[in-house]
Each structure stands twice: as structure tokens, then as C-alpha cells.
Amino acid sequence: MADDPLTRSWWGWGHVEQALPDDECAGFGALLPGLADRPRPVPAPADLVLPPVRVRPPAALADRFSDTPHDRAAHTYGKAYRDVVRALAGDLRAAPDLVARPLSEADVAAVLDWAGDAGVAVIPYGGGSSVVGGVEYRGDRPSVSLDLTALDRVLEVDPVSRAARVQAGALGPVLEEQLRPHGYTLRHFPQSFEFSTVGGWLATRAGGHYATLHTHIDDFVESLRVVTPVGVSESWRLPGSGAGPSPDRMFLGSEGTLGVITEAWLRVQDRPAHKASAAVTFTDFAAALDAVRAIAQSGLHPVNCRLLDPGEALFSGAGDGTVSVLVLGFESAGHPVDAQLKSTVDLALAHGGRVRENSGAAVESWRAAFLRMPYVRDGLARMSGVVETFETATTWDRVPDLVEAVRTEVGAAVREVCGVPGLLNCRFTHVYPDGAAPYFTVVAPGKPGAELSMWDEIKAAAIEVLHRHRATITHHHAVGRDHRPGYDRQRPDPFALALRAAKAALDPHGVLNPGVLLD
């Protein structure tokens, strides 16, 4: 945004100004023995070594392209732990040759045409917040990072149908700022909200604000406009249609492999006028899970229904480390929600929960910690910490065993790899009548220079556990390149055939985000 006084970090999460200062990083040493003595310095962009540029932009589009070291460095990786570690180490071998910033849909189509002819890989790039290698090209061809953030306008608002036509490059706050004067909000607030775009949400089936019912961005899509190498796909605005397989559902989750999403009609909402929240504590995590299941199956549809295990509650300041904390919330634009909250809290109490005094503070401290977490992650990474998350979803019948297996087996991997137990916390972010999405955080001391291989070993153990329990490789972080080992095993073979055929039909030169979803 033009009026944004903050500077985006090229190597880590979010804004440079919000990164943890060195002394705060160093302070982690007291909390987690085994970390480095002082934080690894952040390389200066001027000192970066980038591979040579192998391709020239087409003359007609030259002013849409950049090959400055800063642009190339900032578009090399997403924002996974392994991305941060590599950036801090100055490893930018995967840098794109060029960064393209289309100013119109016609520019997008022109870039794809040129790339198809020139054999250049095109990596669609929104906010660059992928944590699964979704924006990092790993092949041998020249590559272009297609940065869509200049296409960030709300083009139309339909107040009758309560929908908005939005360009895909709008970052979360840029979108909400344009909806606000109309009295609307999308209320899609992933943890990456500030640093991810509408198009990125759509392409990766992002998970958002709602713990139940409308958990993914998919649920707010009315229609999509997608530039593919063989033409523009535009679905009709339809509130519901049974005419064949949904065209939109093919592009949702396609992660830039089938086309570049340029616009969407999205269902927006009146801003909520009624809100109510509560926090309930449990001494028994299994009882807390039963409570959450009862709530998820009640048809009460809380907006917030997040369960933090004792470690996660402590980590985020919502608990003292002895109890699990369930954060509940309702909201509505039109009607009071206190009765629904009461019914929901009653269900929690019936399963052994206790209403936490000063619930509001717990909710707030969880929320603040939630948004601060990626900066803490970066600070820990600078201290040679191994710090990353993974999330999944499975049916309720498998949830307790899965959580136990992750604690046991991933915990063993952490001990084996890092030499100490470290932290292995669990929260539940989204719940369904038939299952839930557990989300795990690992924090442990790493060995400088070996952090990546250490994390890869831990993650490999995690992937094995998820697969054995038939839990998805990702509930809302997408597949990218890093999740291919799990994704390829869970995807039905005939569907892989169909997807490959669809890809070949839409992207005959195979230029779109090669290596993601498919080889």
C-alpha cells in the first residue's frame, strides 16, 4: 500500500519494524536452553549473492518487470521456517530471474503467452506467505515470480446480494479497507491476514476466521475469473448451482498450476454488531476434546471454538500451563448471541470444563500471541531454534489416537534430533461435526548450520504419523512443494490422472508453478 510506512521484510515475516530486536531474541536463551548465545545477523541485501539473470523480459512489457537483487531476494521463498533459515544463511540459489508486476489482467495474459513461448516457469505470487514452498521454483528453467499485488481493487459491490468483485492481488487489510465504507467485511482472517492476498487464499483454500461452518475461503466464493494459458475462465455468479462439477472447485486449491486467479466475486457480510465470547478450562485434555466434539455436533456453530492444550495455552499467555483452554465466541450483525454462547458453554461445563474468570483477557492474550507468533518464530530461528508448525484434519474417531501418536512419535523425533524434548504443543483451530483440525507447534534448540536437516527429519516423522492415521497432509496450509510426499500418497490415483490431464489441457507448455501438486 502506498501509504504504508512500514517496510516488508525480504527474509522473514511481515514488517522489518515489527521483527524482534536482537536483545529480545537473545532473551530466548533463558527460556529454552541449548539455543545460540546471540542471534544470527540478518544479511544486508547489498551483500546477497544471487544467481545470474538468464532471461530478458519481453520488450512490450519491460516496465512491468524487475531484476533488482532486493526484488529477486524477496520473491525467492515463502515464509516457512526453512525459508527463513535459508534466507538468513544468504542461500538464494532459487531466486527467480525476474519479478513481474502486472498492472492489468491483460498483462497477466501477456506474461503467460510470453512464458509459454520462451519456456519460462511462472510462479504466481500474492503475499508470499506460503509455508509449503508454494512460491519457490525448484527447477532448471528460467523463472518469473508473478507478483499480483498491484491488482488490489474492489471493483464492484452488490449490496443487494451482499457480494463484492475483488481483484486477486488485494492483501487482507487492503481488501477490508475498501469494504469498510460499504459497511461490509469478508471476515476471512487467516494468521497471515496482513501478508496474504485474496488470490493466494483462493488458490490455496486458506482457512480463516470461522472455527465452524465457513472454515475455508471456498465457502465465500460466488465466482472466479482465472487467466489460463488457453484463455480466460469466468464462472457465472451463482449462489448455488448443480450444473456439472463445480468449475470453481477445480481452481480452488489449484495453487497456481492451472491458471492465475485474477478476480473473484466473494460473499461479504454485514459487520457484526453482537459479539460474545468465553474461555473454559479443562484439567483433562480428553474431556476437553469430548466437549469440543459435542459443540461441533450441536449445530450451534460458534465463530470461535479453539482448544489450546496446556503447553499451547502457556505459550500464548492464555493459560498457566496446567490446564487446557477452550476459547469460544459468537457474533452476528442482526441478533443477540448470548443464548447461543450460553448453550455452548453449558455443553463445555457438562464435559467437565470450568468457566475461566476474566475470560476476555485470556481471549485477548491468545489473539495477540497468535498474531505475534511468526515474529517470535523468526527470532527463534535467528537463535538457531528449530521452530515450525504443522496442521492436519481427521475424523473424530481418529483424533485422540492421532494426537497421542504425534506427541509420542514426533516428540521422540524431536528428542532424537535435538537432544532435548523441546516444546510440542497442540491446538485445535477448526472443528466439524465429523472431525477436527489439530495444529501442532514444535520448538527446540537446533545446531547452527544443521537446522534445516534437523527440521526435515522431524517433519518426515510427522508426515509418517499423519499418513498412518489417514489425516490430511494439510487442512489449510496447502500442498506446495514441501507437502508433495504426503499429498501424493493421499490423493486417489484416478484423480491424479484427471488432474494431470486437466493441467495438460490448460497449461500445454507446463509453465505454471511446476512442481506444485504435480511433477
Residues 257-296 that bind a second copy (CB under 8 A): 258-259, 267, 269-270, 293
What minimum distance in Å lies between the beta carbon of 139 and a second copy? 19
Q: What is the DSSP string of 78-137?
A: -SSHHHHHHHHTT--TT--SEEE--SSHHHHHHHHHHHHHHT-EEEEESS---SSSTT--
Residues in contact with a second copy, counted by CB under 8 A, come to a total of 98
What minimum distance in Å lies between the beta carbon of 79 and a second copy? 17
For residues 461, 466, 472, 475, the Cα torsion angle rounded to the nearest 10 degrees is -70
Q: Which is nearer to a second copy, 128 or 207 (CB)?
A: 207
| Beta bridge partners of residue 65, listed in sequence order | 100
What minimum distance in Å lies between the beta carbon of 292 and a second copy? 12
Residues 6+ apart with CB under 8 A from 135: 75, 77, 78, 123, 124, 125, 128, 145, 480
CA–CA gap between residue 298 and residue 287 (Å, rounded): 16
Task: Give yes or no for residue 492 binding a second copy (CB under 8 A).
Answer: yes
Task: Give yes or no for residue 397 binding a second copy (CB under 8 A).
Answer: yes
Classify the C-alpha dihedral 309-315-321-325 as positive or negative. Answer: negative
Give me the half-sphere count of Cα atoms (radius 13 Å) on the Cβ side of residue 245. 4
For residues 270, 272, 273, 275, the Cα torsion angle rounded to the nearest 10 degrees is 160
Task: Give yes or no for residue 468 binding a second copy (CB under 8 A).
Answer: no
Q: Which is nearer to a second copy, 286 or 369 (CB)?
A: 286
CA–CA gap between residue 160 and residue 165 (Å, rounded): 13
Task: Give yes or no for residue 206 binding a second copy (CB under 8 A).
Answer: yes
| Beta bridge partners of residue 389, listed in sequence order | 441
Task: Give yes or no for residue 249 binding a second copy (CB under 8 A).
Answer: yes
Binding string, residues 97-126; x marks residues near a second copy by CB under 8 A: ------------------------------
Task: Give yes or no for residue 412 binding a second copy (CB under 8 A).
Answer: no
Residues 6+ apart with CB under 8 A from 148: 102, 108, 124, 125, 126, 168, 169, 197, 199, 260, 262
Task: Give yes or no for residue 181 binding a second copy (CB under 8 A).
Answer: no
Task: Give yes or no for residue 388 binding a second copy (CB under 8 A).
Answer: no
* Window of 57-65, 116-124, 141-149, 212-220 that interacts with a second copy by CB under 8 A: 212-220
Task: Give yes or no for residue 297 binding a second copy (CB under 8 A).
Answer: yes
* Window of 43-51, 98-106, 200-208, 407-415 that interacts with a second copy by CB under 8 A: 200-208
- By CB under 8 A, name the one of 54, 93, 180, 470 that touches a second copy: 470
Task: Give yes or no for residue 312 binding a second copy (CB under 8 A).
Answer: no
Read off the C-alpha cell for 164.
Answer: 463484492
DSSP E strands, 322-417:
324-332, 354-355, 385-391, 394-395
Task: Give yes or no for residue 250 binding a second copy (CB under 8 A).
Answer: yes
Q: Which is nearer to a second copy, 65 or 440 (CB)?
A: 440
* Window of 103-111, 144-152, 360-368, 486-494 that interacts with a second copy by CB under 8 A: 486-494
- By CB under 8 A, name the one of 475, 482, 513, 514 that touches a second copy: 475
